Amino acid sequence: MAHKKEASPPKNPTANGIDGQEFKHLVKAGLAWLRRHQATINALNVYPVPDGDTGTNMVLTMQSAWEEIADSPERNIGLLAHKVAQGALMGARGNSGVILSQIWRGFARSLDQKPVYHAADLAAAFDEAADTAYQGVTKPVEGTILTVARAVADAAARAVKDTSDLTRVQEHVVFAAHEAVALTPSLLPVLAEAGVVDAGGQGLLVLLEGMLHSMRGEMIADDAELAEVGDLVASAFGPGQAGYGYDVQFLLRGEGLDIDAIRATIAEMGECPLVVGDADVVKVHVHVPDPGVPISYGAGLGSLQDVVVEDMEAQTRDFLAKPGSTPAADEDRKIDVVAVVMGEGLTLLFESLGVGAIVQGGQTMNPSTQDLLDAVESLPASSVILLPNNKNVVLAAQQARDHSQKDVAVVPTRSIPEGIAALLALNRQADLDMNVKAMKRAVKDVETGKVTFATRSAKINDVEVTGGQLIGLHGDELKVSGESPGEVVRNLLKEIGTEDREIVTLYYGDQVTEAEANALAQALSHEWPDLEMEVVFGGQPNYHYFVSVE
Amino acid sequence: MPKVEYAGQIEVSPTAIASIANEAVLTCYGVVGTCAKDLAAGLANVLSPESKRGIDVRIEEGHITVDVYVVVEYGTRIAAVARSVMNVVKYSIERAVSVQVAEVNVHIRGLRVSSID
């Protein structure tokens, strides 16, 4: 790229601009990063209503945006951005989600039908995004995500005067977002009272930060399935590794500073490095276990100003300890649900159906009573319904119920399809007893089949199987065997019976591809033309398919 | 509504509660104005941020019921905006006067189209 210094990253990978397919990676990384910080953002949520769901709402909104583009081959950035905006709009949840969708709307409108965006286009898009966001409210409140969106646009406009490197522009943008978020308590008194920064603003920052990670070629593992609701500190601030305990920022003044060398050195020290500036003044931001290291390094190069060191773990603990920041149990969340689920797709599915907390587990990995209890206690709701989704987990769930301080009921679902049926019957306005009754009724209407490998040779219920062969279970009973997953599903449907049934849903596991599952569903609908076949990605290990017959 | 204290009572009028609700609604994202309950008043009044005519507060047996008549920005997800309005109105009234709000009904009276994509 035309920029004069080309030291640490040898070439600018964004010199040709960013097209639709490249932008997909950024959106995905933004979503993954947002998801990783979801719990912290929830904990920050005190404004406008302290219901502790900002992080969740922003994740769900971005999830919807991602789903809109995940399979899109669109190369035109303008058209792809419109899809992102459309997805965000359709999935917009909560105040922060609606604002986020408006931000995307403005962003997309500005890019219009451009094939790629360059630095100037990006600055214009951020500007239109902020304008659109402000348009959507009569009295804009400063100290919120709106303020951050405006700061981002201003920073981008300034940055593109000096550089055309999109990664550099994004760094300036993220830096400005950091500063704007840090200022939110001084603009919005309710935040200062609670001792927090604005949750929505923080969410926007995290989203932009995730995109920056992707632009730098840093991978973000999408650990939706690993994020334990109760494990706030670890999930938020120690991504994968212990001890990234301090947020360090300072301004370094000197002469002939080599910004690329500084950037490389700081990046070695810790996470989320941000180094922007020129030969005379450099802004540094990094998360490190020992704040002394970057500060001494900086002091060796020039004079330091505006040094800020924050203990991030203590901040998180404070957020959680303060009564003001404890998410209030609002009307909608008097009743909540904890479900035991395994597999990426099923986790997302249960989340989208509104479970408050998910405990990872299933046939081969039963969660402990403690795991379940922790999940129950982590929810703000006073009444909690436990869905074990496996007969081996029912007992642990009942023990968790007996040990909890809350009003807990176990609906003894024995499979994922039963769990989903139960969840669909949830009515948050009704009390615990009513819900349990409704859920038990719903569970009765569902038959479950499972397809897996036989772990050993056996003869059960007149079905003879050899180890490694495929078998089909109706409920928990071995009923059929076969050579291919498709054959077993077919036999299972015959075994279960399809009289008076309407819908068959195939939740395919991590050993099955989407194409295989779709092909099977198509073949099945030829054989059973009266049944509606649905295919859902479950991602569960060990089981090729969970089959739900309703 | 009357609230018994040691000697005497505190009374908060529906108008005062409407002011609280109005303030909350107008800072609620997606809402670009409140408007009269009946549109007979004419479109000229629709986008008037100062008025409280778009808020209807009833107090019956200690329960507060609020009806909110709003204009929403075109292009936002209306259901999500309405849900936010419910939450924010309920929360701000309950915080201010410590009396439960039984119902918040949101009536979308129109959309404002400020830009077409």
Q: Which residues of B touch A90 (CB under 8 A)?
A: 77
3-state SS, one letter per residue, for A211-251: HHHHHCCCCCCCCCCCCCCCCHHHHHHCCCCCCCCEEEEEE
With CB atoms and an 8 Å threshold, state whether B73 touches A101.
Answer: no
Q: Which of B84, B87, B91 sits opposite A98 (nearest CB)?
A: B84
The β-bridge partners of A407 are A383
Give the integer Cα–Cα distance in Å for A530 and A514: 23
For residue A312, report the phi and psi dihedrals to the nearest 5 degrees. -70, -35
Q: What is the reported pLDDT for A546?
A: 92
Give the integer Cα–Cα distance in Å for A515 and A495: 25
Rounded to an integer, the average pLDDT of A371-400 is 87
Q: How far is CA A426 from CA A175, A335, A421, A482, in A?
A: 43, 9, 9, 37
For residue A284, report the phi and psi dihedrals to the nearest 5 degrees. -125, 140
In a domain, B117, yes or no: no
Q: What is the reported pLDDT for A334?
A: 81
| DSSP letters spanning A494-533 | HHH--TT--EEEEEE-TTS-HHHHHHHHHHHHHH-TTSEE
Q: Which CATH fold would you assign to the domain A329-444?
A: Rossmann fold (3.40.50)
Confidence of residue A331 (pLDDT cuts 50, 70, 90): very low
Nearest CA in chain B to A328: B91
pLDDT tens string A427-470: 877 888 888 988 988 888 888 999 988 776 767 777 777 777 88
pLDDT tens string B79-117: 889 999 998 999 889 888 888 899 999 999 888 887 666
Q: What is the reported pLDDT for A317?
A: 53
Q: What is the reported pLDDT for A315?
A: 55
Helix (H, G, I), strand (E, B) or coil at B105: strand
Q: Which of A50, A138, A141 sits opposite B33 (nearest CB)?
A: A138
Give yes or no for B109 touching A (CB within 8 A). Answer: no
Give yes or no for A459 touching B (CB within 8 A). Answer: no
pLDDT tens string B33-63: 887 766 545 454 444 444 456 888 888 877 8
Nearest CA in chain A to B72: A136
Rounded to an integer, the average pLDDT of A93-113 is 92
- Cα distance from A438 to chain B (closest Cα, Å)? 25
Contact call for residues A149 and A133 (beta carbons, < 8 A): yes
Q: Which residues of A touch B29 (CB under 8 A)?
A: 95, 98-99, 136-137
pLDDT tens string A202-229: 999 999 999 998 998 877 665 443 333 3
Give yes or no for A48 touching B (CB within 8 A). Answer: yes
Q: What is the predicted ipTM?
A: 0.71
Q: Which residues of A touch B26 (CB under 8 A)?
A: 137-139
Q: What is the reported pLDDT for A470?
A: 85
Give yes or no for B16 touching A (CB within 8 A). Answer: no
In a domain, B91, yes or no: yes
Q: What is the reported pLDDT for A69?
A: 95
CA atoms within 13 A on the CB side of A247: 15
Give the integer Cα–Cα distance in Å for A27 and A84: 9
Rounded to an integer, the average pLDDT of A303-323 is 63
Q: Which residues of B touch A140 (CB under 8 A)?
A: 27
Nearest CA in chain A to B117: A109
Contact pairs from chain A to chain B, CB under 8 Å = 82
- Cα distance from B40 to chain A (closest Cα, Å)? 23
With CB atoms and an 8 Å threshold, state whether A101 touches B114.
Answer: no
Residue of B29, B47, B85, B93 for testing the chain A interface, max A β-carbons within 10 Å: B29
Q: What is the reported pLDDT for A229?
A: 32
Q: Which residues of B touch A93 (CB under 8 A)?
A: 80
Determine how many CB atoms are found less than 10 A away from the CB of residue A289.
15
Q: Which residues of B touch A82 (CB under 8 A)?
A: 117
Q: What is the reported pLDDT for B38?
A: 60
**Alpha-carbon torsion (B41, B46, B48, B50), positive or negative:** positive
Q: What angle do CA B69, B73, B75 make, to 5 degrees?
A: 130
**Alpha-carbon torsion (A411, A416, A417, A419), positive or negative:** positive
Structural element, H or E, at residue A81: helix A77-91
* Domain edges within chain A: 9-223, 228-323, 329-444, 447-549
- Mean pLDDT, all residues of chain A: 83
3-class SS shares of chain B: helix, strand, coil, % to 5? 35, 35, 35
**B residues 62-101 lying closer than 8 A (beta carbon) to A:** 73, 75-77, 80-81, 83-84, 87-88, 90-92
CA B113 to mean position of chain CA atoms: 21
CATH of domain A9-223: 1.25.40.340
Q: What is the reported pLDDT for A47?
A: 83
Confidence of residue B6 (pLDDT cuts 50, 70, 90): low
Q: What is the reported pLDDT for A80?
A: 96
- Cα distance from A415 to chain B (closest Cα, Å)? 32
For residue A480, report the phi and psi dihedrals to the nearest 5 degrees. -140, 160
With CB atoms and an 8 Å threshold, state whether B31 touches A138.
Answer: yes
Q: What is the reported pLDDT for A131?
A: 94
Give yes or no for A97 touching B (CB within 8 A). Answer: yes
B24: CATH: 3.30.70.1350
Number of structural domains chain B divides into: 1
With CB atoms and an 8 Å threshold, state whether A95 touches B29.
Answer: yes
Q: Which of B26, B76, B80 sits opposite A94 (nearest CB)?
A: B80
The β-bridge partners of A547 are A449, A506
Could you tell me which CATH class the domain A447-549 is placed in? alpha beta
pLDDT at A244 over 70: no
Closest CA to A225 of A336, A354, A93, A361: A361
Rounded to an integer, the average pLDDT of A510-520 is 88
With CB atoms and an 8 Å threshold, state whether A93 touches B81.
Answer: no
With CB atoms and an 8 Å threshold, state whether A109 touches B115.
Answer: yes
pLDDT tens string A16-34: 899 999 999 999 999 999 9
Contact call for residues A380 and A333 (beta carbons, < 8 A): yes
pTM of the model: 0.54
pLDDT at A82 over 80: yes
Helices (H) and strands (E) in chain A, counts: 21, 18
Determine how many CB atoms are found less than 10 A away from the CB of residue B74.
17
**Domain carrying residue B44:** 2-112
Q: Which CATH fold would you assign to the domain A228-323?
A: Alpha-Beta Plaits (3.30.70)
Q: What percent of chain B has pLDDT over 90?
A: 19
Q: Which residues of A touch B81 (CB under 8 A)?
A: 98
pLDDT tens string B57-82: 888 877 889 999 999 998 888 988 99
